[in-house]
């Protein structure tokens, strides 16, 4: 059986159709847009070499990760007084400087930090913090603390404004549900658990024949109504996207990555590395690790989750380095909030506010940035934020993705020195 048409072949065929003058107004528009679109031009130029655009991997820590037991302020007595049971002992902290250090379960990240690949942004939050999981996650994902803006995600708006007619896989979420952060109005994002499951599913028993029939059915027919013609191309694109993903998935099975742990989070990062290495046309990958809502018996639970996070990220960076992709990929972690400074009666912590974010990879400007929020000057028992999370987003958008952040974030936010200057342009060279 002949292989599915590749995206390039499809693009080429599209151009042929245009030059042949077949009446297909919708598709004409699409193609004209595509030709003027920088991302699609990159796609078209792809034949001559490897893709070179910057890639962002967003890691969402769901439930509210306790920042103080992640990046531990070991020098402050107030930390130990507030957390008689939960504080990480001074002697165990993996010191990053003379104020803070890593929780020892994050040992793999310490090695990356020493290697100059981890940027820690301290005290990140936003004004009038909301302590509801749902609302605060929505605020982080829409980048809109007021709730009055469009209910689209900041990454979705990136796809809308920077690639209005780019392919169907500008963003990939490694879970069946699409987070609000990735949702724009254009819908050029796909979500799947396993790349092998994404695509057209023939009925049991009808397999190859039905798949082949669909490919033949999606050939444009001269005289199709404009909307049917548009949908034929959309569906063909989808089949091509799925075929891309499956082809890439095929490469994945031969490439197991180096030393990823068996847990689902690490395995998703393995798939992401594989997709990038297989030249997927994707700009942003979204991976979640949940369960950080540690109201009770925090220590064992958070330790296990942080260990999973650290080991997974370290394996991911090692794999990218081995694939010579380390300078093309920036990984950013965030959580909807940190947790209360004082531990509660159940050896846990309640919903809090500001917390650190991590930027990891070759592009990260290594070091500890921002200041540790005061542990005594609190807002209802919670840390006061020092850096607005939208400043971190703006920095990622401007310095890494190479786009204007203001239209996407609905305002201007200070650019931070948390990413190496020109990292994004270096990636594009």
**Residues lying near other proteins in the complex (CB under 8 A):** 148, 150-152, 168-169, 176, 178, 183, 185-191, 198-206, 209-210, 213-214, 216-219, 221, 223-232, 234-235, 237-238, 241-242
Q: In angstroms, give the least distance from the CB of 321 to other proteins.
A: 31
Token readout for 72 is: 């531990």
- Among residues 351 and 399, whose Cβ is nearest to other proteins? 351
Q: In angstroms, give the least distance from the CB of 26 to other proteins.
A: 8
DSSP 384: P
Q: In angstroms, give the least distance from the CB of 295 to other proteins.
A: 11
Three-class DSSP category at 261: coil
- Among residues 92 and 221, whose Cβ is nearest to other proteins? 221
Three-class DSSP category at 59: strand
CB-CB contact of 346 with 297 (8 Å): yes
- Among residues 163 and 392, whose Cβ is nearest to other proteins? 163
CB-CB contact of 54 with 285 (8 Å): no
- Give me the residues paired with residue 333 across strands: 59, 358
Cβ neighbours of 198 (radius 10 Å): 21
**Distance separating alpha carbons of residues 79 and 376, to the nearest angstrom:** 9
- Among residues 4 and 419, whose Cβ is nearest to other proteins? 4
- Among residues 47 and 208, whose Cβ is nearest to other proteins? 208
Burial of 260 (0-12, 13-18, 19+ CB in 10 A): buried
CB-CB contact of 230 with 26 (8 Å): yes
Task: Write b or e for each residue in 63-80: b if 16 or more Cβ atoms lie within 10 A of its Cβ, otherwise e.
Answer: bbbbbbbbbbbbebeebb
- Among residues 38 and 207, whose Cβ is nearest to other proteins? 207
Distance of alpha carbon 365 from the chain centroid? 18
Q: In angstroms, give the least distance from the CB of 398 to other proteins.
A: 26
- Among residues 168 and 331, whose Cβ is nearest to other proteins? 168
Q: In angstroms, give the least distance from the CB of 189 to other proteins.
A: 7
Q: In angstroms, give the least distance from the CB of 337 to other proteins.
A: 18
Name residue, tokens 């994404």: 198
Q: Which residues contact 250 (CB under 8 A, 6 or more apart)?
A: none
Cβ neighbours of 116 (radius 10 Å): 13
- Among residues 100 and 341, whose Cβ is nearest to other proteins? 341
- Among residues 65 and 183, whose Cβ is nearest to other proteins? 183
What's the sign of the alpha-carbon dihedral 356, 362, 364, 367? positive
Distance of alpha carbon 115 from the chain centroid? 23
CB-CB contact of 200 with 208 (8 Å): no
- Among residues 168 and 308, whose Cβ is nearest to other proteins? 168
Q: In angstroms, give the least distance from the CB of 186 to other proteins.
A: 8
Query: In whole angstroms, how far apart are CA 210 and each of 207, 213, 215, 244, 246?
Result: 6, 5, 9, 19, 17
Q: In angstroms, give the least distance from the CB of 60 to other proteins.
A: 19
CB-CB contact of 88 with 104 (8 Å): yes
DSSP-assigned letters across all residues of 165-183: T--TTSEEESSSSPPGGG-
DSSP 149: S
DSSP 397: I
Q: In angstroms, give the least distance from the CB of 206 to other proteins.
A: 4
Q: In angstroms, give the least distance from the CB of 165 to other proteins.
A: 11
Q: In angstroms, give the least distance from the CB of 217 to other proteins.
A: 5
- Among residues 35 and 231, whose Cβ is nearest to other proteins? 231
């Amino acid at each position: 059986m002949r292989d599915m048409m590749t995206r390039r072949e499809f693009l080429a065929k599209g151009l042929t159709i245009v030059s042949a003058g077949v009446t297909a107004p919708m598709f004409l528009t699409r193609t004209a847009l595509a030709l003027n679109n920088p991302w699609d031009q990159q796609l078209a130029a792809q034949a001559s070499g490897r893709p070179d655009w910057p890639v962002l991997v967003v890691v969402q820590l769901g439930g509210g990760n306790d920042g103080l037991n992640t990046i531990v302020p070991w020098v402050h007595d107030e930390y130990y007084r507030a957390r008689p049971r939960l504080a990480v002992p001074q002697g165990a902290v993996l010191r990053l400087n003379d104020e803070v250090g890593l929780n020892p379960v994050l040992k793999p990240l310490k090695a990356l930090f020493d290697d100059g690949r981890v940027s820690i942004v301290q005290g990140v939050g936003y004004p009038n913090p909301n302590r509801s999981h749902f609302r605060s996650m929505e605020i982080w994902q829409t980048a809109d603390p007021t709730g009055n803006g469009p209910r689209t995600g900041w990454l979705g708006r990136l796809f809308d404004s920077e690639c209005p007619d780019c392919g169907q896989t500008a963003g990939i979420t490694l879970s069946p549900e699409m987070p609000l952060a990735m949702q724009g109005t254009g819908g050029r994002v796909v979500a799947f658990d396993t790349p092998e499951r994404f695509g057209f599913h023939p009925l049991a028993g009808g397999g190859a024949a039905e798949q082949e029939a669909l490919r033949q059915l999606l050939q444009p027919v001269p005289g199709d109504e404009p909307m049917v013609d548009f949908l034929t191309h959309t569906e063909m694109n989808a089949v091509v996207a799925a075929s891309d993903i499956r082809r890439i998935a095929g490469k994945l099975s031969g490439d197991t990555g180096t030393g990823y742990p068996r847990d689902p989070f690490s395995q998703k990062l393995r798939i992401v590395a594989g997709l990038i290495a297989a030249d997927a046309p994707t700009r942003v990958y979204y991976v979640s690790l949940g369960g950080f809502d540690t109201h009770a018996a925090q220590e064992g639970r958070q330790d296990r989750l942080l260990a999973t996070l650290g080991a997974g990220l370290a394996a991911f960076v090692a794999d990218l380095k081995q694939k010579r992709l380390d300078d093309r990929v920036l990984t950013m972690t965030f959580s909807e909030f940190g947790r209360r400074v004082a531990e509660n009666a159940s050896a846990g912590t309640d919903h809090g506010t500001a917390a650190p974010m991590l930027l990891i990879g070759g592009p990260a400007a290594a070091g500890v940035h921002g200041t540790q929020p005061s542990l005594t000057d609190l807002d209802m028992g919670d840390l006061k934020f020092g850096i607005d999370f939208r400043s971190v987003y703006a920095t990622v958008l401007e310095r890494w993705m190479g786009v204007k952040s203001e239209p996407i974030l609905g305002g201007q936010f200070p650019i931070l020195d948390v990413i190496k200057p020109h990292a994004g342009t270096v990636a594009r060279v």
